[in-house]
Chains A and B, each alone.
Chain A
Amino acid sequence: MNQGIVFKLNGQPVSYTGSAADRLLDVLRQTYRLTGVKCGCNEGECGACSVLIDGHLANSCMVAMGRVENCEVTTIEGYSQTERFQVLEQAYAAVSAVQCGYCIPGMILASECVLARHPHPSETEIRLGLSGNLCRCTGYNAIVKAIQIAAEKGEGLW
């Protein structure tokens, strides 16, 4: 009997009845229509498909569905409902860190992980935290700056 793969998606319990070998990325985009999760390379090299699994950053193209059983998966759609997102989003806005936008949902989740680990991050800690998320537009400076602003404005949130 197939009970499906049970996990929490953006706070809601769900059960996925497809193959455990399916890519999390494809399932998020196709089955759950969470298209904020982008596909840039399908091989874990660009970070556009970043999601949080139990609060850790993961490339959803590198995750098979069976791995998320009983886990909590958060995509940008879920994260954007949080107060932390608002602080980050406003910080990104203040320095116009969003250009083409394709890397941004992943980049914001990577930013969350930087701040969760280092509420007062050094520039190197920020850059290390973003190092798996490619951006071809910005040269990264604005994104780094945005995280520094968020750390300051979001004092106490992380």
Chain B
Amino acid sequence: MVNGFSPATLQEALEIRARHSVTPYAGGTDLMINPDPDAVYLFVNHIPEMKQIEQRGDQLHLGAACTYTQLLEHPLTPAILKAAIDLIAAPAIRNEGTIGGNIANGSAKADSVLIFFVADASLKLNSQSAERIIPIRDFYRERKQLDLRPDELITEIILPTKWLDHYYYKKVGARKALAISRVVFAGLLTWQDDVIAHCATAFGAVSGVVLRCPELDALLIGKTRSEAQAAKAGYLAAFGDMIAPIQGRVSAEYRKEVCLNLLTDFLTSNGI
């Protein structure tokens, strides 16, 4: 085809990626907003290896070219990811848009990416010659700056599922559907034997990349309820220092206030 490649296998796709200057096209829903008419696309939307969904032990392997709709309808998709996808755009976009594309777009407003952050997911990146697996937090260097080499494709998202059952998720958009996040928050907290076995939080749409501070969440891990209650003020204050939102269509002050309200509510809803 003119200005495009449509490989049938991952191997073929990686060969093209190595040899040509191409833009990977998964769902197109970000690329086509302001498309470069001279772009040469590498269509990866139907490559079988990139569409698989497979649980291996504690890890869920999601092919990067899985569409939102595919995940929404799949029995292995964790509820927290479904909750996020449910509020992404609208059906037509969810039918085309992919999780790999959402990651590659590099936006801190990407709702599925937030879930991958809070879950401490890793990405599998493949080139013709190598494969590497890196934590998603390392992949995003800063706003729109990704650790992706010109010959690589994001092929898989590896999602640890152990801590995903007890979640809190809230998105603030300008309307009830078809909305871009103004603030989006996800939290995970699991009690085991009356102590907090796991706590993870992530904030989207407040800074250049999703904000995830495991060192702060660690303040609560291993604590009993009363210890956590005692640590609560310090925990919130530490996040208060950390959250320095961007000014956009809504003010930085609003974003920060909502973040802290949601963080507080997340703790309250967990009895802290």
Binding site for B on A (CB under 8 A): 2-5, 17-21, 23, 43-45, 47, 50, 53, 56-59, 61-67, 69, 110, 113, 128-129, 131-134
Contact = CB atoms under 8 A, between A and B. Distances in A.
A63 B96 contact: yes
Nearest to A51: B92
Contacts of B234: none
A132 B94 CA distance: 10
What are the 9 closest A-B residue pairs judged by CB atoms, nearest first? A132-B90, A20-B4, A131-B177, A66-B4, A19-B3, A56-B95, A20-B1, A57-B92, A62-B32
B18 interface: no
Contacts of B31: 64
Interface string B1-17: 11111100000000000
B178 interface: yes
A41 to B, nearest CB: 10
Given A21-B39, A132-B178, A69 B28 contact: no
Interface of B: 1-6, 25, 28-29, 31-41, 43, 45, 69, 89-93, 95-96, 176-178
Contacts of B39: 21
A50 B1 CA distance: 24
Contacts of B89: 44, 132
Contacts, number: 115
15 contacts: A19-B3, A19-B37, A20-B4, A23-B32, A43-B32, A44-B29, A57-B95, A59-B29, A64-B25, A64-B28, A64-B41, A66-B1, A69-B6, A113-B91, A134-B178
Contacts of B95: 53, 56-58
B191 to A, nearest CB: 33
A98 B39 CA distance: 39
B90 A47 contact: yes
